[in-house]
Amino acid sequence: MRNRKNDYWKTVTGKRVVFFLLILFVVLINFCSVQIAEFLQIPFFFDTWGTTLGVLVGGLAVGLVGGIVYNLIMMTVWGTSAWVWAFANIWVAIIVTILNRKGWISIKYPGKLFVSGIIVGLTTAIVIIIILFTAWGGVETYEGVLPTYDALLDVTGSKTIAAVGEKFITTPFDQIVSLFLAAIVYSALPSKFILNRRKK
């Protein structure tokens, strides 16, 4: 009986069930993380670590679909324009996939994992800045980052520099923590739930 249960997860139907469950978990993890961050009013969202975990466990498709669905759901919380933030999740899924294929996203290599967090953070900051200036004219909308933004504004006197600087400060930290969280959880998961086969 135990062998039959284990074999089920190797079937096409079993893999499809895992695929959709993983997408659901990506959405739930991102949603719960951002709700906690907003409640605590911290200058981080941590709403892409579910996307990263989805990529590690299920591959690029899981990360992409989960990240997009999450942002579509957030339209009911942040307003209809929130869909544009899906591009940040899309980018995270893509860049994490690339780094993961190089073997850098692993708790066994904390140095490479840390560097990966910086790479993902800096490049994601660029995507976020583009979204911020394209959709909102560079005006910050999240109260959690306003202290950092205001501090930079006091020093520079420039709203543009403050907005850009804040993203380059907060986003790398956000992504470093997110990658380590995802890598730790991934390393602890049973192999039967891993669709994206790679050495942990």
- For 44-98, the pLDDT digits (tens) are 889 999 999 999 999 999 999 999 999 999 999 988 888 999 999 999 999 999 9
Percent of the chain with pLDDT over 90: 65
- Altogether, the residues listed in the chain come to a count of 200
pLDDT at 1: 47
Determine the Cα–Cα distance for residues 151 and 89; give it in Å rounded to an integer: 28
pLDDT at 175: 96
| pTM of the model as a whole | 0.88
Computed over every residue of the chain, the mean pLDDT equals: 89
pLDDT at 130: 92
Report which DSSP code applies to 91. H
The predicted-structure confidence for 107-125, as pLDDT tens digits, reads as follows 999 999 999 999 999 999 9
The predicted-structure confidence for 177-188, as pLDDT tens digits, reads as follows 999 999 999 999
Which of 80-89, 102-111, 158-167, 189-198 is predicted least confidently? 189-198
The neighbour count for residue 55, using CB atoms within 10 Å, is 31
pLDDT band at 33 (very low <50, low <70, confident <90, very high): very high
Determine the Cα–Cα distance for residues 89 and 193; give it in Å rounded to an integer: 22
pLDDT band at 195 (very low <50, low <70, confident <90, very high): confident
Does residue 143 surpass a pLDDT of 70? yes
Determine the Cα–Cα distance for residues 86 and 68; give it in Å rounded to an integer: 5
50 within 8 A of 25, measured Cβ to Cβ: yes
Determine the Cα–Cα distance for residues 81 and 100; give it in Å rounded to an integer: 31
- Residue with more model confidence, 17 or 174: 174
Q: Which of 107-113's residues contact partners 24+ apart within 8 Å by CB, and which partners?
A: 107/180, 107/183, 107/184, 107/186, 107/187, 107/200, 108/200, 113/179, 113/180, 113/183
